[in-house]
Amino acid sequence: MTRILLSLISYNFLCLFLMNVALASISVEDDTGQHIELNKPAKRIISLSPGMTELLFAAGGGAYVKGVVSYSDFPQAAKKIQQVGSYNSVDLEKILALNPDLVVAWESGNPALQISKLKKLGLTVYISEPRNFDDIPSTLERLGTLMDTTATATSAANDFRRELAMLKQRYAKNKTITKSVYIQIWNQPLMTINGEHLISRIIEFCNGRNIFHDVGQLTLSLDVETILAKNPDTIIVTREGDLGNEWLSRWRQWDFLNAVKNRELHTANPDHLVRHTPRIIQGITQVCGFLQPQIKP
């Protein structure tokens, strides 16, 4: 009798264990170290940044994205998805009405209070903040796990790794010249990034040195005098076209700057630098072209 009773208890514990495994059968860790658990693949997803929207599509989950923020314009299909606000101000009612099973957020872009409110409403929030190139394919793979699109996500991740390796081989040939670089991500106020930001990794990859590498904040506002005192060899602004030239025009008046004297004033495609997606390969190629023009693509 005792043996039968013990067997029943063991059986019940086994059933409970298997039920718990089933209820949390999908699990990944986001960039904040938070464990994201789903009891089934995410099929109704809200993206809170244009970059995250790109990553979701690249990982094979475009059909599952039901809400995006403004400027989610790549790929073309993203433009047709309902908008739920901007990266820094979302409409909670619209998000709840879409009944999402997953929200993907951008740690340094979305306000912390906004993310906290979403969590308090009971929504599962995956937070992304790529700081290294390896974080991009890793994010694709983790999103693929959450959406059950592993084959597509793995293929995209491997493509990225292969293309990055080719760029490393091409631009590792010249490490004798290092240019100091000021990269401007906004104009009013003047804003840049420190050495922990992925854009700074691009500068280093291309054998440049971010003049604000050692500053504590990930992004920072500056005055003109601080930048003039650093006298960078190269200035890159993350805008193209007329707006990019307008941003550069303020620096042309300072003819003592190395960047001005050497005609090292450049405009860069913001989508390829600010959005940390597979298209950053194009951003790396563009920046390396500025800093190592002697090496042909």
C-beta separation of 229 from 222 below 8 A:
no
Across 8-22, 105-119, 132-146, 266-280, least confident range: 8-22
Per-residue confidence (pLDDT) for residue 88, from 0 to 100 = 83
Compute the distance between CA of residue 86 and CA of residue 77 in angstroms, rounded to an integer. Answer: 18
d(CA 254, CA 104): 43
Residue 57 pLDDT: 98
Q: How confident is the model at residue 66 (pLDDT cuts 50, 70, 90)?
A: very high
Domains belonging to the chain, first-starting first, are: 21-160 (3.40.50.1980), 173-291 (3.40.50.1980)
The pLDDT of residue 283 is 96
Asked if residue 58 has pLDDT above 70, the reply is: yes
Asked if the model's pLDDT at residue 7 lies above 90, the reply is: no
Please state the rounded mean pLDDT for residues 103-130: 93
Percent of the chain residues past pLDDT 90, beyond the cut:
79
pLDDT of residue 17: 46
Q: Say yes or no to pLDDT of 15 above 80.
A: no
Is residue 102 scored above 80 in pLDDT? Answer: yes
Alpha carbon distance 61, 146 (integer Å):
10
- Within 10 A of 243 (CB to CB), how many other CB atoms are there? 13
Q: How many Å from the N-terminal Cα to the C-terminal Cα in the chain?
A: 78
Q: How high is the pLDDT of residue 178?
A: 83
For 181-219, write each residue's pLDDT tens digit.
Answer: 999 999 989 999 999 999 999 999 999 999 999 998 888
Q: Is the pLDDT of residue 74 over 70?
A: yes
Q: How far apart are CA 99 and CA 87, in angstroms?
A: 19
From 24-33, 75-84, 86-95, 165-174, the region with the lowest mean pLDDT: 165-174
- Over 60: is that where the pLDDT of 24 sits? no
> Which residues have CB under 8 Å from 260's CB, separation 6+?
251, 252, 254
pLDDT band at 176 (very low <50, low <70, confident <90, very high): low
Residues 253, 258, 259: CA angle, nearest 5 degrees: 70
Please spell the DSSP secondary structure of 186-250, one letter per residue: BTTTEEEE-TTSHHHHHHHHTTEEETTTT-SSSEEEE-HHHHHHH--SEEEES--HHHHHHHHHH
pTM of the model: 0.86
For residues 67-72, give the mean pLDDT.
96
Residue-level pLDDT at 62: 96
Of the pLDDT bands very low, low, confident and very high (cuts 50, 70, 90), residue 21 is very low
Question: What pLDDT, on a 0 to 100 scale, did the predictor assign at position 109?
Answer: 84
Of the listed ranges 10-14, 96-100, 225-229, 292-296, the least confidently predicted one is 10-14
Confidence of residue 22 (pLDDT cuts 50, 70, 90): very low
